[in-house]
Amino acid sequence: MVKKCLIAIAVVALLATTVQADNPAIKHDGDWPWTYKWINLCTIPVFIEVGHFVQMEKCHERKIKLVQVDCDSPEMGKGSGDFPCYYDCETFNVRANFPAMFDASLSKDGPILKDTNLSWPEGNSIGGSTGGWETIKLCMKAWKTEIWRATSANTNPQVGTITIKVKPPDTG
């Protein structure tokens, strides 16, 4: 008895997604030759697996160009024994589809840079709730630099590379 009920349910379900061939709505009523119309048979929802997305606007155009500043200046906060001091910041736009935290590390090229510090003076995170561009700022300080090790004066040698990293905040 249960088997007969299951067969009847299966037949009813099969009929729910079929179109009868003799239905006059399939054909175009008009002159010969007849053409068939498209009819909607079924709708299928589409889903997408969304991962974490983060982007920095114009990353390839970003650079820190250190300029000499007074070691006693507010941005440096060092003393005269730390001479010479250099400082610069870079502001850039980022966007993400999640709350994002940023960090940075410096890889020094050559012997010129000695003591350095990277900081995010306005914070190192974005909300990521709108998907729109948000602004963050990265600053670099360098002191006790050995500028006499540069190959010549009035040049702008590359003295390092900054790598910017990103991750979602820890929620533990």
pLDDT, tens digit (0-9, with 9 covering 90-100), for 47-56: 999 999 999 9
Residue 130 and residue 94: Cα distance in Å, rounded? Answer: 12
DSSP state of 118: E
Residue 26 placed within a domain = no
Half-sphere exposure of 41 (CA within 13 A, CB side): 10
Q: In the predicted model, what is the mean pLDDT of residues 26-48?
A: 82
Q: What is the pTM of this model?
A: 0.74
pLDDT at 11 over 80: no
Residue 84, in any domain of the structure: yes
Asked, for residue 30, whether it belongs to a domain, the answer is: no
Asked if residue 73 has pLDDT above 70, the reply is yes
Per the DSSP assignment, residues forming a β-bridge with 142 are 86, 116
In a domain, 117, yes or no: yes
Q: Confirm whether 47 is domain-assigned.
A: no
Beta bridge partners of 141: 87, 117
Using CB atoms within 10 A of its CB, is residue 90 exposed (0-12), middle (13-18) or buried (19+)?
A: middle
Q: What is the pLDDT of residue 12?
A: 47
The dihedral through the CA atoms of 16, 20, 24, 29 has a sign that is positive
> Is pLDDT above 80 for 24?
no
pLDDT tens digits for 118-154?
A: 999 999 999 998 889 999 999 999 999 999 998 888 7
The CATH number for 149's domain is 2.60.40
State residue 108 phi and psi, 5-degree precision: -80, 140
More confident: 65 or 14: 65
Looking up tokens 């502001």, which residue turns up? 91
Q: How far apart are CA 144 and CA 70, in angstroms?
A: 12
